Amino acid sequence: MIRLSVLLFLVISVCIVAIAVLIAPNQLDNTFFWITVVWLVILAGLNWVVSTYIFIGAKNSNSQSTNFGIL
């Protein structure tokens, strides 16, 4: 489960970078562009950490837990 979760985060991060490069290929030498892309990856990473924590916590609790509904 954790390996799948890490793989999902890597796919999301690569997609964020790829879409950013495809949308603005002329901005590749712009520092502000890369700061923005890194910020988006950080936000996705924070979302991933919280989601993974909820999934791991819900897996260890009873099957009647409402954590999956919240997620």
Q: Indicate the pTM of the whole model.
A: 0.75
* Average of per-residue pLDDT values in the chain: 84
Give the pLDDT confidence of 18-45 residue by residue, as tens digits.
Answer: 999 999 999 999 999 999 999 999 999 9
The Cα 16–Cα 10 span in angstroms is 10
Q: Over the stretch 42-62, which tens digit does the pLDDT of each residue have?
A: 999 999 998 887 777 655 555
Torsion of CA 35, 37, 43, 47, to 10 degrees: -160
The predicted structure's pLDDT at residue 52: 82
Sign of the dihedral defined by the CA atoms of residues 35, 41, 47, 52, in that order:
negative
Categorize the per-residue pLDDT at 66 as very low, low, confident or very high, splitting at 50, 70 and 90.
low
